[in-house]
Amino acid sequence: MSETPVSAPVTALANMLAGMDPELHALPHVFMHEDRWTDFSLEISPMFASIHEGDEGTTYVYALEQEWPMAEGLPRFARITLQVHSDLEGVGLTAAVATGLADEGIACNVIAGLHHDHLFVPWDRRGNAMNVLKRISDEARG
């Protein structure tokens, strides 16, 4: 089985910003604590992430392929993946992105992956968020 080669991680802030190439995912996502589950076998939407928080339990992030009762009343978020392979020790990417979005009044929650960062912004602000991210990237490219 052939594997897709992974690019070297980018550490320079200007290069991380210039190469963000944000990708907006089509489905809304919800953050859900384990206490909302009535039956863990009812996974009807793909799980994006789970975060174990010690005594506080586990938070799950799900992409909603359809509405389901356990997600009722939860805020919807858009997931935007920054396509740049940012180094986990790279400095400033999260701060620059969060500041740019905050300046426009857009909340941003970040989950860092080994190769890419994933931003979660309010569903109804996703278009604005993409515009901000593209502007930041364009400015970094000069």
pLDDT grade for 41, boundaries at 50, 70 and 90? very low
pLDDT grade for 54, boundaries at 50, 70 and 90? confident
CB atoms within 10 A of CB 133: 23
Tell me which of 3.30.2130.10, 3.30.43.10, 3.40.50.1100, 3.40.1260.10 is the CATH number of domain 13-141: 3.30.2130.10
pLDDT grade for 37, boundaries at 50, 70 and 90? low
pLDDT in tens, 114-132: 889 999 999 999 999 999 9
pLDDT in tens, 61-81: 989 888 777 788 899 999 999
Mean pLDDT, the chain, whole residue set:
88
Which of the listed ranges 8-12, 44-48, 49-53, 114-118 does the model predict with the highest average pLDDT?
114-118
Domain ranges (residues) in the chain: 13-141
In the prediction, which pLDDT does 47 show?
79
Residues 6+ apart with CB under 8 A from 55: none
Of 46, 43, 51, the C-alpha closest to 27 is 46
b/e code 62-101 from CB counts within 10 Å (16+ = b) = bebeeeeebbeebeebbbbbbebbbeeebeebbebbbebb
Check whether 36 has a pLDDT greater than 80. Answer: no
Check whether 137 has a pLDDT greater than 80. Answer: yes
pTM for the complete prediction? 0.88
Calculate mean pLDDT across residues 52-61. 86
